[in-house]
Amino acid sequence: MSLENEVTDVAVLESAFEKHRQNINVDNARLACEAAREEWDNVATVETVFRNGLEFQHSVTSHITVHQALAYFQVHDLLVDSVSLVNDRGGVEPRGLCTLLSCLLGPPELHDHLTAERDLVFAIAQRELDMSEPVHVRMLQTVYQRLTGTRLDCPHYGSHWEHIGFQGTDPGTDLRGVGMLGLLQLLYLSNTPHLIPLARDIYRVSVDDQQNFPLAVMSLNMTRIALQALRRGELNRECNHQQLVLHVVNQFYVAVFHHTLHIWTSQHKTIKDSGYVLKGTAVFVQPSYTLSVHEDSGCVRCHPATLAE
């Protein structure tokens, strides 16, 4: 992804926050939510169809785990353009004195055997949402049902996606900036057992009368920050330590989201403060980081590597 495209994506995400701030009406949102619930209550949970003389039953989409989704991406031909993938890896290779300074002051090199997994992360980030792909739909339905508590499938397109913080009737529009990695990390947050309490807290605040924010858009910003950290090599130390890449990127995403939620709630931020909060978060994650799991909540915390070592 080029720098120009990245700047454009950031502008789009920031404008989404502004749109949410201007358009949010709590009373209308509640009415819309009730109407949606009534609509889903009237939808049959089992639909009988006939194909080639055989009877098929189409039931509620089964939830998908992060591991199942990852297995799909690992075996599916992503058809990523090699030039685009090189651009997504980041900046110019250091030379001469810059190489020496990079060795002394910069993050360590990622171990060679981890580069394929790193490239897979970049490839997922370039993959667009495809509503004709069953795995993509299962990921979306799982995220929606986990966050809202509904047990029924919702339509592929419609205003109901705004209930979890997308900015229109088509989630794919918001996902263009970080691709399917954004949805994969939303799935990681909402469908990983020890993270479900955090996901519920985030959702609760996102629909609060005073502190509401578009959850999906905020999450995509966290994914963008995590992806940038991976590009700059700021997660290399932790990836080398854990001998994993995607898991570290997911942990880092959760840690950054947890940090942002803490700032949002403890400092009583509202949607008008979103730009400042995101800029502060971006500054917070500049150094290389190590990660630790909080004993009480199971949530991941990130610490500057220079302080942790």
Can you give the pLDDT at residue 98? 47
pTM score, whole prediction: 0.73
Can you give the pLDDT at residue 92? 42
The residue-averaged pLDDT of 303-309 equals 45
3-state secondary structure 30-47: HHHHHHHHHHHHCCCCCE
Q: Which of 83, 78, 73, 74 is nearest to 1 (CA)?
A: 83
Coil, strand or helix: which one is 50?
Answer: strand
- At 107-165, the pLDDT tens digits run 799 999 999 999 999 999 999 999 999 999 999 999 999 999 988 899 999 999 999 99
Between 309 and 231, name the one with better pLDDT: 231
Can you give the pLDDT at residue 54? 33
Q: Which of 226, 241, 247, 227 is nearest to 110 (CA)?
A: 241
3-state secondary structure 187-212: HHHHHCHHHHHHHHHHHHHHCCCCCC
**Cα angle: 176, vertex 67, 224; to 5 degrees:** 30
- At 256-276, the pLDDT tens digits run 999 999 999 999 999 999 888
Domain ranges of the chain: 3-308
Percent of the chain at pLDDT exceeding 70: 63
Can you give the pLDDT at residue 46? 37
Contacts of 79 (CB under 8 A, 6+ apart): none
Contacts of 277 (CB under 8 A, 6+ apart): 260, 263, 264, 269
CB-based contact 191:248 (threshold 8 Å): no
Can you give the pLDDT at residue 241? 93
In this predicted structure, the answer to whether residue 95 has a pLDDT above a threshold of 60 is no
* Six token digits for residue 179: 């691709």
Cα 87 from Cα 19, distance rounded (Å): 31
Model confidence at 281, pLDDT cuts 50, 70, 90, reads confident
- At 185-230, the pLDDT tens digits run 999 999 999 999 999 999 999 999 999 999 999 999 999 999 999 9
Mean pLDDT of the chain: 78
CB-based contact 152:61 (threshold 8 Å): no
Between 24 and 74, name the one with better pLDDT: 74
